[in-house]
């Protein structure tokens, strides 16, 4: 059997294993957000909850990433990683019975799931942000959020303008990624079709083939990191299934689309009947409610008391 076939088989076995839990108990899923979820309060929460990790990231970067979060991905990603774990700490380190992260949030999810040391996760967040920023400088691009368009029509438009579907965030919300000129042409076409399209404040074409060099370099960096078998199932937001090979999945995520609705549904099918966003803001909570309106979805960012799920 090929490596790809074996991986697909193993994912199917793992998904079936976790799905069988549903018959016995109700499960809670812990979710970590990605880039773009920053809030004004998250620096103070990180300083209060994880001062050692904050000092570590300042030392590694030679600057305070929270003070420079608007200066680019190289600062934004480690800042959000640290803040996500700080909110998780403030909530009482709720374990849940499974967890996942949206894009960058996968690193925090792997820490929460017991598969990755927090300091190693921070190092990966720093490397990931730097490599993606370097790739954006080498091959400029951008991202476009399409709100309210029909899925098939948006995908046809992406193909027409040679753009990648970067994020499937929720029903009626897709993000396209690619070079700037075709991205602008696609935006004009969407507006002509009376579909809302918003340029995202990022400097690169993330989750697209323009990140292929960054993905290769990140894969090399991942070889230097030790991963443990997760104590809690951690779902990949690109595979929409439990992580099989974290190094391969994390590297491939730089060029592959985030399949958030599919990930939520896979976790729901595995028994999750409560989704708790543990990180700055409530971006995921809104997406989750649109995807699974019948399921409890809430953010712990506004719940300072410890919550043990």
The domains found in the chain, sorted by start residue, are: 3-138+207-299 (3.40.366.10), 142-199 (3.30.70.250)
C-alpha angle 179-181-182 in degrees, rounded to nearest 5: 75
> pLDDT tens digits for 53-110?
999 999 999 999 999 999 999 999 999 999 999 999 998 888 789 999 999 999 999 9
Residues 6+ apart with CB under 8 A from 101: 31, 32, 33, 34, 84, 107, 108, 109, 110, 237
207 as an active site residue: the answer is yes
- Over 60: is that where the pLDDT of 309 sits? no
Round to whole Å and give the CA distance between 234 and 242.
Answer: 5
Q: Tell me, what's the pLDDT at 2?
A: 34
State the average pLDDT over residues 151-180: 96
CA distance 183 to 185: 5
Distance of alpha carbon 201 from alpha carbon 257, whole angstroms = 18
The DSSP bridge pattern shows strands 296-299 and 272-277 to be parallel
Grade residue 303 by pLDDT with cuts at 50, 70 and 90. low
Of all residues in the chain, the percent with pLDDT exceeding 70 is 89
Dist. CA 123–CA 57, nearest whole Å: 8
In the set 102, 177, 207, 236, the catalytic residue is 207
Cβ partners under 8 Å of residue 26, min gap 6: 271, 273, 274
101-115, 230-244, 248-262, 291-305: the lowest-pLDDT one: 291-305
Kindly report the number of other CB atoms within 10 A of residue 210's CB atom. Answer: 23
Long-range contacts, stretch 48-52, CB < 8 angstroms, 24+ apart: 48/86, 48/90, 49/86, 49/87, 49/89, 49/90, 50/82, 50/85, 50/86, 50/89
Question: Token pair 């309060």 is at which residue?
Answer: 41
Structure-token match 């193993």, residue found: 10
What size, in residues, is the chain? Answer: 309
Distance CA 155, CA 178 (A): 13
pLDDT higher than 90, residue 203: no
Distance CA 33, CA 285 (A): 10
Question: Quick check: is 102 catalytic?
Answer: no
Of the candidates 103, 177, 208, 236, the residue annotated as catalytic is 103
pLDDT at residue number 308: 36
Q: Which phi-psi region, left, alpha or beta, contains residue 93 (left: φ > 0; alpha: ψ -120 to 50)?
A: left
- Kindly report the pTM of this predicted structure: 0.89
Cα angle value 164/204/175 (rounded, 5°)? 40
Higher-confidence position of 305 and 184: 184
Q: How many Å apart are CA 66 and CA 58, to the nearest integer? A: 9
Q: Judging by DSSP bridges, how do beta strands 27-32 and 272-277 pair with one another?
A: parallel
pLDDT of 19 reads: 41
Model confidence at 247, in pLDDT bands (50, 70, 90)? Answer: very high
């Amino acid at each position: 059997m090929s490596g790809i076939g074996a991986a697909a088989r193993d994912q199917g076995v793992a998904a079936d294993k976790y799905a069988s839990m549903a018959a016995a108990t109700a499960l809670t899923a812990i979710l970590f957000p990605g880039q773009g979820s920053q809030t004004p309060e998250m620096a103070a929460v990180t300083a209060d909850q994880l001062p050692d990790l904050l000092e570590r990231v300042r030392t590694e970067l030679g600057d305070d990433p929270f003070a420079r979060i608007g200066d680019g991905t190289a600062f934004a990603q480690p800042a959000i990683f640290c803040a996500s774990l700080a909110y998780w700490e403030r909530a009482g380190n709720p374990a849940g019975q499974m967890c996942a992260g949206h894009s960058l949030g996968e690193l925090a999810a792997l820490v929460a799931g017991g598969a990755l040391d927090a300091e190693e996760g921070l190092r990966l967040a720093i490397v990931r942000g730097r490599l993606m920023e370097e790739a954006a400088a080498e091959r400029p691009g951008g991202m476009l959020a399409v709100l309210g368009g029909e899925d098939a029509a948006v995908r046809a438009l992406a193909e027409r303008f040679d753009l990648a579907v970067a994020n499937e965030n929720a029903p009626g919300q897709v993000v396209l990624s690619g070079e700037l000129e075709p991205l602008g042409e696609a935006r004009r076409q969407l507006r002509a079709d009376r579909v809302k399209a918003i340029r995202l404040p990022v400097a690169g074409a993330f989750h697209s083939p323009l990140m292929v060099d960054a993905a290769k370099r990140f894969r090399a960096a991942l070889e230097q990191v030790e991963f443990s078998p997760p104590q809690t199932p951690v779902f990949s937001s690109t595979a929409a299934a439990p992580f099989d090979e974290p190094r391969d999945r994390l590297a491939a995520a730089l060029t592959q689309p985030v399949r958030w609705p599919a990930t939520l549904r896979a976790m729901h099918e595995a028994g999750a009947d409560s989704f708790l966003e543990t990180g700055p803001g409530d971006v995921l909570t809104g997406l989750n409610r649109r995807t699974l309106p019948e399921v409890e979805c809430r953010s712990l960012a506004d719940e300072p008391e410890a919550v043990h799920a």
